[in-house]
Structure 1
Amino acid sequence: MTLLLEEKYPIENCEPWDFCGFSYKVNFYNREDLTGIVVALDLTDHVLEKAIEEKANLIITHHPFIYNNNLEEEFANFPYKEKIYNKLVKLKISVYSLHTNFDADKQGTSYWVAKEFFPDEKPSPLGKYGALIKTKIELSELKAILRKKYSGPIMTNNKKASFSFNGVAFFAGSGDSPEINEHTTKNNIIITSDTKWSDWIFLSQNKKTLVNISHQTEELFIKVIYFLLTKKFKKGVNVSTFYYKNLINSL
């Protein structure tokens, strides 16, 4: 099953610093050994509870659960992971992630986020990870489009609501500022997430208009992988999903 995913999203496309693939793998894995699959953005205690409830022994996430070759260091930095990891071992549940190898696909994360907000448009590739919607649009119009499907916080460095742009550039997740700057123009509105103060300064100094939305929009990954798996395994393997509701709220 994971070989099927790697045919579409090759591990070779994973960044050198990334930890795509298995964070924990049970020694056996044939198709007949699968009791169920849960697809989520991240592995948390809630996702593990969902897997136990569904009697699933494979969890597929976008973000890798383990980001370190040294488990002791990983658990020291993120203590909550040790308890989850020990449960995975005890219950024989494998965890597999598709991260930058999924992002790098022509229809990767940025493509699907762009498609979510502009369903009638065809996103064009922008660098390795970005997607561009070519359209004339004002900042106020973009806000209205985002609000139709997104209720989280929206931040921008441009107060000119009526200023006209010729495209919307999506860099899903924590977009890399030098890459964003390289592949965009002053006439693009840039949409990304988790923008650091230094990135706001960098892009503002380069006269770029930035719009910051929640990283949680990457949950579109779940929909894509769920569709792929249920199309392939129409019978025999139960595929479930886990979405966070209101993980981050305004005070």
Structure 2
Amino acid sequence: MKTLKEKLELKPQESWDNSGLQIGDYNTDINNIMLTLDVDLNIIEYAINNKIELIITHHPFLFSSLKSIDFSTYEGKLIKYIINNNINLYSMHTNYDMAEFGVNYQLSKILNINSYEVLHTVNPDGSGYGGIGHIEPVNIVEYAKKVKELLKSDHIKLYCNNNDKTVSKAAFCGGSGSDFIKDAIAKEADVYITGDIKYHQAQFALQNDLCVIDAGHYSTEYQSLHSIKNILCEIEELNVKLMEVNTVKEIIL
């Protein structure tokens, strides 16, 4: 049985990333926690009204260095509200992407890929981004529909040269996984599930007989927050609220 500390163990973040404490004080006593993929004004207002003391996001609120904090800007307004209401903001990004119980783990569970290897290895211990494993042989169009259902996506995009193709080996990566299309091809995946696929990236995949299911950045990542919630809820003193809110609004016409 894994301990709470072991379940929450994060990997080293990428050099370009900015995980960790964004705003706040490590010495603050915490009871009320909110989990969300990102923060926006509505999220912060909800936190204020519900006396949230700690917001944990996947995507860092502050990515690059600040040269000024202008309260008339959107970012400046959020910073002002966060500080004035004694809210702590903490982010778990690439260090959670690669964690044992992180994004890969939760996505594999949702997709019913019970045994998988890491798609793109980064760290000496073999951890990294995404995963690849075997699934029951299924028609690609039917599988794409199933993925949409499992991930609760509003819509998906399927790139495939042959709608009659049977797939039995699936690669996956939460968020923007286009950088690892070559890994999926090299490991002989039949289909790759991720988000944010561009035209020429899809073209390259198709040229190499790889089907791609673009299920969206949000839908392939936010459900990993359930793992964090389940782990934190093992501490009786904590009240944990999971916000299933996509802050990047899409209108399907």
TM-score bucket of the superposed structures, by smaller chain: 0.7 to 0.9
Structure 1 residue 75, shift from structure 2 partner: 7.1
Q: Is the 8 A contact 2:97 2:103 kept in 1?
A: yes
Equivalent-residue separation in structure 2 for 1:126 and 1:75 (angstroms): 42
Q: Is the 8 A contact 2:171 2:193 kept in 1?
A: yes
The residue identity in structure 2 corresponding to 1:146 is V
Matched ranges for 1:190-205 at <5 A: 190-205=192-207
Q: Is the 8 A contact 1:50 1:242 kept in 2?
A: no
Q: Is the 8 A contact 2:7 2:231 kept in 1?
A: no
Aligned to 2:156: 154
1:19/1:187 CA distance change after superposition, 3 Å: closer
Give the match's secondary structure for 1:14: coil
Is 1:14 the counterpart of 2:8 in the alignment?
Answer: no
Count of aligned pairs: 238
Out of 43, 48, 52, the residue aligned to residue 47 of structure 1 is 43
Q: Is the 8 A contact 2:148 2:215 kept in 1?
A: no
Give the match's secondary structure for 1:134: strand
The residue identity in structure 2 corresponding to 1:240 is K
Superposition CA RMSD, Å: 2.7
Structure 1 residue 186, shift from structure 2 partner: 4.9
The residue identity in structure 2 corresponding to 1:144 is K
Out of 83, 88, 97, the residue aligned to residue 103 of structure 1 is 97
Of Structure 1 and Structure 2, the greater helix share is in 1
The residue identity in structure 2 corresponding to 1:57 is E
Matched ranges for 1:46-85 at <5 A: 46-72=42-68, 79-85=73-79
Give the match's secondary structure for 2:191: strand
Q: Is the 8 A contact 1:191 1:213 kept in 2?
A: yes
Equivalent-residue separation in structure 1 for 2:100 and 2:190 (angstroms): 20
Aligned to 2:238: 237
Equivalent-residue separation in structure 2 for 1:64 and 1:173 (angstroms): 14
The residue identity in structure 1 corresponding to 2:190 is N
1:75/1:186 CA distance change after superposition, 3 Å: farther
Structure 1 residue 224, shift from structure 2 partner: 0.9
Equivalent-residue separation in structure 2 for 1:189 and 1:75 (angstroms): 46
Structure 1 residue 180, shift from structure 2 partner: 2.6
Structure 1 residue 159, shift from structure 2 partner: 4.3
Equivalent-residue separation in structure 2 for 1:75 and 1:199 (angstroms): 38
Equivalent-residue separation in structure 2 for 1:5 and 1:81 (angstroms): 34
Structure 1 residue 6, shift from structure 2 partner: 9.7
CA deviations on 1:33-56 (whole Å, 9 max, x unpaired) are 214111111011122122112211
Equivalent-residue separation in structure 1 for 2:7 and 2:17 (angstroms): 15
Equivalent-residue separation in structure 2 for 1:148 and 1:213 (angstroms): 10
TM-score (norm 2): 0.83
Equivalent-residue separation in structure 2 for 1:71 and 1:116 (angstroms): 41
- Residue identity (%): 25
Of Structure 1 and Structure 2, the greater strand share is in 2
Q: Which runs of 4+ in 1 moved over 4 A?
A: 3-7
Q: Is the 8 A contact 1:36 1:57 kept in 2?
A: yes
CA deviations on 1:123-155 (whole Å, 9 max, x unpaired) are 332222111230223202312322433242211
Structure 1 residue 249, shift from structure 2 partner: 3.2
Aligned to 2:123: none
Give the match's secondary structure for 2:81: helix
Equivalent-residue separation in structure 2 for 1:75 and 1:221 (angstroms): 33
Structure 1 residue 71, shift from structure 2 partner: 4.5
Structure 1 residue 244, shift from structure 2 partner: 1.5
Gap runs ≥5 in structure 1: none
Structure 1 residue 198, shift from structure 2 partner: 3.2
Aligned to 1:248: 250
